[in-house]
Amino acid sequence: MTDQNEPQLTRIQQKNRERILEGALTAFSANGFRGATIDQIAEAAGLSKPNVLYYFGSKDEIHKTLLTALLDMWLAPMLAIDPRGDPLDEVLDYVSAKLRLSRDFPRESRLFAYEILQGAPHLNEILGGRLRMLVDETVAILAAWIDEGRLAQVEPHHLIFSIWALTQHYADFEVQVRAVLGPGHDPFAEAELYLENLFRRMLQV
Amino acid sequence: MTDQNEPQLTRIQQKNRERILEGALTAFSANGFRGATIDQIAEAAGLSKPNVLYYFGSKDEIHKTLLTALLDMWLAPMLAIDPRGDPLDEVLDYVSAKLRLSRDFPRESRLFAYEILQGAPHLNEILGGRLRMLVDETVAILAAWIDEGRLAQVEPHHLIFSIWALTQHYADFEVQVRAVLGPGHDPFAEAELYLENLFRRMLQV
DNA sequence: TGAAATGCTGACCGAACGGTCAGGATCAGG
DNA sequence: CCTGATCCTGACCGTTCGGTCAGCATTTCA
């Protein structure tokens, strides 16, 4: 039972669609949806503009495809939280994993940031649907831990928000972070230490 | 010695420039620089497009004027940190003030977010210049407090980043926050409690 | 090997956009 | 009331952009 949603793509289709999405990720994350042009995407992908539109019907479709394809990667670390694990370790692992995503996939982070800033025109139903359900499950786990006295009393929704905010900040506002720190700093390495300290202090009972 | 940088504006100039900046703030914060059009700005300001360009030479000039005019408001709470005050109170007051800015001026917050995401093309020299100096001063205050044992040992730069990240998140990602929380929540009121708790736990010695 | 399917492109289109300009309306103040 | 400065606009311009299309090239597979 392999995934047959997109009925078999040819070798060329597979390669070129991938190239386009890769180029589009660079373009969209650098300039936002309206700021990026199909020509930019085409050049980054090494294809002609009409050829890009041969594989994806419109600029919008490329954008939508990118966003939905990336959502899973973005949400995966939250799913990895194990209700049977040690509460503090689980949260700290989540923070660490999310920070690594920011470090290794800043373009993806910025893509989402643009989308949410814009008012999430493409993700609106997902935010209030799948994402909200996923968060609710995680909130339930956290609430149980707190009830059992294994985690300090904090509001679980906002705990999650704070993890998102703090980790994504280092990708989305990287320019600012680097400018303020000046040269000779490794923002992500420092953030790792700082955030572990922060959440440890806040969540230890 | 009144501020005479802009040699006296007429009554009409003053009113219309203000209208344009107000309309531009709405347009830019909703769609980003490239996403906003001069026509949109003109309509929001209740003026014709050529008239907008009569007061500001270009779209870019409007944007730049907005950004620099807003910077002071945005940085003011950090300047209000008093080295002679109680360390924890001072930090918590700063957090609270910054969160109020997010609540009351979300458009301004989003405007900056777009600018930084873009790579800060208009603010680059400010980020590494005035902002960095301002942060360095605040860092010095925080470091002194930490040295004196009046604040827990945390890296001051990243403390400031975390305040920015956590407070701005509620303005910039408001759509996501509301979607995940669902109806019947007051994100900012909850955030106030949560963040005070967070920073109190983290910073108390 | 040949023909059908797939892949690709140059040229082009219409709309949107930033910006200009000539000239008319309005206002300030002597 | 007159005049010069300020204010405002319709019409227009060149460019950019998303998207189309006719037709040629290449690949696939029987």
Architecture of domain A1-57 in this structure: Orthogonal Bundle (1.10)
Q: What are the pLDDT digits (tens) for A150-182?
A: 999 999 999 999 999 999 999 999 999 999 999
- Counting residues of chain B whose pLDDT is more than 70, the rounded percentage is 97
Name the one residue in this structure whose structure tokens are 């997902």.
A126
Task: Burial-class residue B95 by CB neighbours within 10 Å (0-12, 13-18, 19+).
Answer: buried
Which numeric CATH code is attached to B59-203? Answer: 1.10.357.10
* pLDDT band, residue A7 (cuts 50/70/90): low
Give the N- to C-terminal CA distance of chain A in Å, as an integer. 47
Task: Burial-class residue A3 by CB neighbours within 10 Å (0-12, 13-18, 19+).
Answer: exposed
| B50 nearest nt, CA–C1' | D9
Contact B113 A116 (CB under 8 A): no
Rounded Cα distance, B99 and B164, in Å: 9
pLDDT value at position B7?
A: 60
Residues of A in contact with B114 (CB under 8 A): 32, 117
Instruction: Give the CATH fold of the B9-57 domain.
Output: Arc Repressor Mutant, subunit A (1.10.10)
Tell me, in Å, how far CA of A55 is from C1' of D20? 14
Mutation site for A-interface testing, chosen from B109, B124, B180 by largest number of A Cβ within 10 Å: B180
Contact A154 B194 (CB under 8 A): yes
Cα A186 from chain centroid? 21
Domain boundaries, chain B: 9-57, 59-203
Architecture of domain A61-203 in this structure: Orthogonal Bundle (1.10)
Q: What are the pLDDT digits (tens) for A95-143?
A: 999 999 999 999 999 999 999 999 999 998 899 999 999 999 999 999 9
Q: Which residue has the higher pLDDT, B2 or B49?
A: B49
* pLDDT band, residue B6 (cuts 50/70/90): very low
* pLDDT band, residue A205 (cuts 50/70/90): confident
Chain D positions within 7 A of any protein Cβ atom are: 6-11, 16-22, 27-28
Comparing C-alpha atoms, which of B176, B171, B114 is closest to residue A74?
B176
Contact A35 B118 (CB under 8 A): yes
Contact B165 A173 (CB under 8 A): yes
- Counting residues of chain A whose pLDDT is more than 70, the rounded percentage is 97
